[in-house]
Amino acid sequence: MIEKTDKKSTVVKIELRKIKYISVRMPVTADKSMVLVRMGLEMTDGYKKGKYNYASMSTANKWQALLWAWTNPGWLRLRIISINLNKKGTKTELGIVTNRKSIKQLIPQIMQRLSNEELALLTWGAILGDGSLFLVKYKSSRLRIPQIRIAAKDVNKWKELERLGFKGCEKHGFLDLRYSKARRYAKMLMEIMSPRLKRLMDLLEIKKWKTLKEFLQYKTFSHLQITIHGVAFTVQIKKRWIFEVIQVHKGAGEVVRRA
């Protein structure tokens, strides 16, 4: 089968329909952080399998297959679905079926009852599933603007992500988080993510995980501290990355000049 992914690239898929599943038993290692990440991954890339609606996923990324397996303890069924050929190389698409029923349809309701910290972990799973992280160069300067984007066919299902600062675009089908908000989100994740999940991210060598850690290396200048003749001032920038409208505060916040 020949599948066109966009105008410039074509993937040739060799489907292997008669290959049987093999069963694998995963140890119980998933903590709360891993369960929340699994829910986000299921929301973006998961689907129902069979008449019992088992939670399943198919992927050509080895790290994604391992992450799905490690966050789903118990018996799993695995099989090779297809071999994908393109200009960049060859990838094997795996199908992984768990022994639990899918909760994909319930996740939008579950998100309403989660705290911001729990929602941030679930969102990280969605980013690993169908999201992207960028460090965009700002014009000709050395500044890099952190940006997170999640593909979403139905933006309304992700409405709760507004609590974290995400903005939805129904026309193009994605959610976006930029500038200092993206950096704050990365900092929050580093603080609340369990050590076990962090070790798993490092072992799988996930590129998105490396980019997320790079977000913390780039500071966003929403407030600047300056000293003039021994007097400390705080400069607050009112427009993102554009030094046009500022307020200079003295002492406890009294406005002494507006530029």
Question: Which residue, among 161, 155, 138, 150, has the nearest Cα to 242 in the 3D structure?
Answer: 138
Collapse the DSSP code of 43 into the 3-class scheme (helix H, G, I; strand E, B; otherwise coil) and give the result.
helix
Question: Does the reported pTM lie above 0.75?
Answer: yes
242/19 Cα distance (integer angstroms): 57
Characterize the bridge pairing of strands 54-59 and 46-49: antiparallel
Mean pLDDT of the chain: 81
67/246 Cα distance (integer angstroms): 46
Question: Which residue, among 180, 165, 164, 162, has the nearest Cα to 236 in the 3D structure?
Answer: 180
User: How does DSSP classify residue 17?
Assistant: T
> Residue type at 106?
L
pLDDT in tens, 79-136: 888 888 876 778 888 899 999 999 999 999 999 999 999 999 999 999 999 999 988 8
114/125 Cα distance (integer angstroms): 15
pLDDT in tens, 53-66: 999 999 989 999 99
Residue-range domains of the chain with CATH: 2-103 (no CATH), 107-215 (3.10.28), 223-258 (no CATH)
Residue-wise pLDDT tens for the chain (259 aa)?
545 444 456 677 787 777 788 888 988 877 899 999 999 999 999 998 888 899 999 998 999 999 999 999 889 999 888 888 876 778 888 899 999 999 999 999 999 999 999 999 999 999 999 999 988 876 666 667 889 999 988 888 999 999 999 998 888 889 999 888 898 999 999 999 999 999 999 999 999 999 999 888 765 555 555 666 666 665 555 444 444 334 444 444 443 333 3
Cα 37-25-50 angle, rounded to 5 deg: 75
Cα 216-166-107 angle, rounded to 5 deg: 110
Collapse the DSSP code of 52 into the 3-class scheme (helix H, G, I; strand E, B; otherwise coil) and give the result.
coil
20/17 Cα distance (integer angstroms): 8
